[in-house]
Amino acid sequence: MSIAKNIEIIISKTSWIRKMFEEGARLKAEHGAENVFDFSLGNPNIEPPEVFKKTLQEIVNTSVDGMHGYMPNAGYPPVRAKVAEYLSEEQHTFLTANEIIMTCGAAGALNTILKAILDSGDEVIAPTPCFVEYGAYCANHGGVFKTVPTKPDFTLDIDAISEAITDKTKAVLINFPNNPTGQIYTEDNLKALGTLLKDAGQKLKRTIYLLSDEPYRKIIYDGIKAPSIFSCYPDSILATSYSKDLSIPGERIGFLAVNPQAEFKDDLINAMTLTNRILGYVNAPALMQRVIASLQGKSVDMSLYARKRDLLCDGLSDCGYTFTKPAGAFYLFPQTPIPDDVKFVQALQEELILGVPGSGFYGPGHFRLAFCVPDETIINAMPAFKRVMDRFK
C-alpha cells in the first residue's frame, strides 16, 4: 500500500461524495452549467463588499519595508489588538491581543487548538449533524472523535452529551450557526452545557474544553442574536474565519481566541502559538491580516442570503419537503422521504439537482442544500424538486 491506512479509510468513507462531485462535473459538461442546479458546495456566491476591495487595493499600493516577511507566529500585534477590540464587544468579555492568534482560516484554528490540547486517545465529543471534516481533524492529532445526537430540531441534547463523557474526554466541539443545519444554540442551552462540563471536569479532575467553531456567526436571520460562548463557560476557545461573512474563503484568514477566564490561559496561548507554527502554517497570511484589521464587523449584505433562504424554504415546502428552517448560515437540511439519503440524492441528480447526502454530516435521512447560489438556480430548480418528491410519495 502506497498511502497511509488512515487516509485510505477516510477516502473510502467519502468516496461516494467524490463520485457525486465527479457526476456533477459530467452533468454540467453534458447539459450546460446553467441547466444543472448545483447546491452542493458552501462557496459564497456574493462578491466581497466594496470596502474589502478598496482596503485591499490601498494596502497593495502602500509599500512598507518587510510587509511580506515573517511576523510573530501569533500574528501582527496591532491586528490582534483590533480583533480583540471587536471580539470584546461581540462576546461581552474583555479581550486583549494576547488572547488572539491569527490563523489560516477556521480549519487552521481548529487544528492548531486540537494539536495543543490532545494527547493520544483523548476524546472529542461533537453533536451531530456536524461538519464532515471534524473527525479527520481529531485524528490528525491522535484524538478519538465521538458523536452524539441532537434533538429533532437540531438543538443540543445535554443529556446525550453527559452520557458520552468519559475519563478520556478532553473537549466538546460545537458549531453555530451550524453546518449543515443552520441551527443556533440558545444561551440557556449553552449555559447548561457549560454547567455540565464544569461539573464533569471537577468529578474527573481534568479540564474539559468547549470549542466553538463560528465562521457563520454573522449570517443570522430573523433578528436572532447568537450568544457569547465566553459568557457560558470559562474554559472555552473560539475558532472562526472571515471566509463566509466577507466572502473570501480562498484567502484563508481567521483566528482563534481563548477565553480570558480559562484556568490555563497562558499555557494554552503558548502551546497554540507553537502548534500554529509546527503544523506548517507558520503564520496567517500577512497581506490578509493587514486587510481585515480595518474591516472588523464588516460583511456582505446578509439580507441577500435571507432572501435566498426564504425562496428555497417556501419552494420546498410547497413541494412537500419537511425541514427545520435555518436560523443562520446558508444551508438547509431537509429530511429525505426515504431512509436511504444517498439514493434520494442520486434521484435528485437524475433531475440535474446536486445536493449532499446527510450521511456525510453524520445526519442520515437528510440531505444538505447550500443556498449560496443565484436566485435563478433556486427558482428554476423547483419543478425538478417536485418531480423527485412525487416519485417517493
CATH of the domain at 224: 3.40.640.10
- The verdict on 168 and 226 lying in the same domain is yes
134 with 210, same domain?
Answer: yes
The pLDDT tens digits for 321-346 are 999 999 999 999 999 999 999 999 99
Q: What is the mean pLDDT of residues 196-221?
A: 97
Quick check: helix, strand or coil at residue 56?
Answer: helix
Residue for grid cell 447550500: 370
Same domain, 19 and 103: no
More confident residue, 15 or 106: 106
Clarify whether residues 259 and 305 are in a common domain: no
- CATH number of the domain where residue 370 is located: 3.90.1150.10
43 lies in the same domain as 117: no
Measured CA to CA, the distance from residue 382 to residue 96 in angstroms comes to 49
Q: Cell digits for 136? A: 479527520
Q: Rounded mean pLDDT of the chain?
A: 95
Q: With cut-offs at 50, 70 and 90, classify the pLDDT of residue 11.
A: confident
Q: Tell me the sheet residues that pair with 124.
A: 145, 171
Do residue 255 and residue 289 come from a single domain? yes
> How does pLDDT run across 342-355, given as a tens digit for each residue?
999 999 999 999 99
Number of separate domains in the chain = 2
Helix and strand numbers, DSSP H then E, in the chain: 12, 12
Which residue carries 477516502 as its cell?
A: 11
* Same domain membership, residue 181 and residue 275: yes
In this structure, what are the phi and psi dihedrals at residue 392, rounded to the nearest 5 degrees? Answer: -110, 5
Render 280-305 in DSSP notation, one character per residue. T--S--HHHHHHHHT-TT----HHHH
Return the DSSP state at 36: S
| pTM (two decimals) | 0.95
Identify residue 322 by its one-letter amino acid code: T
| Residue 25: Cβ within 10 Å count | 12
Q: Are residues 125 and 135 in the same domain?
A: yes
Domain boundary among the residues 267, 293, 319 is at 293
CA 184 to chain CA centroid, nearest Å: 12
122-134 pLDDT, tens digit per residue, is: 999 999 999 989 9
DSSP annotation of 214: -
**DSSP annotation of 98:** G
73 within 8 A of 283, measured Cβ to Cβ = yes
318 shares a domain with 269 = no
- Confidence at residue 355, expressed as pLDDT on a 0 to 100 scale: 95
Tell me, yes or no, whether 253 and 319 share the same domain.
Answer: no
Could you tell me the pLDDT band of residue 10, with boundaries at 50, 70 and 90? Answer: confident
> Which pLDDT belongs to residue 28?
86
Asked if residue 142 has pLDDT above 80, the reply is yes
Grid coordinates of 384: 425538478
Q: Are residues 195 and 243 in the same domain?
A: yes
pLDDT tens, residue by residue, 310-322: 999 999 999 999 9
Which among 235, 265, 293 is the end of a domain? 293
At residue 222 the predicted structure's pLDDT band, cuts being 50, 70 and 90, is very high
| pLDDT over 90 at 16, yes or no | no
Q: What is the pLDDT of residue 127?
A: 98
Cell numbers describing residue 73: 507566529
**Which DSSP string do the residues of 109-121 spell out, in sequence order?**
HHHHHHHHHPPTT
Instruction: For residue range 285-312, list pLDDT tens digits in order.
Output: 999 999 999 999 999 999 999 999 999 9
Tell me how far the alpha carbon of residue 359 is from its chain's centroid: 17
Check pLDDT > 70 for residue 18: no
Average pLDDT in the 353-366 region?
Answer: 95
The answer to which of 21-30, 225-234, 246-255, 283-292 has the lowest mean pLDDT is 21-30
**Among 96, 92, 95, CA closest to 231:** 92
Segments forming the whole domain that contains residue 145: 50-293
Question: DSSP states of 215-280 as a string?
Answer: TTTT-B-TT--PPPSTTT-SSEEEEEESTTTTT-GGG--EEEEE-TT-TTHHHHHHHHHHHHHHTT
Shared-domain flag, residues 189 and 263: yes
pLDDT band at 17 (very low <50, low <70, confident <90, very high): low
Which of 273, 293, 313 is the C-terminal boundary of a domain? 293
**For residue 370, which of 126, 89, 182 has the smallest C-alpha distance?**
182
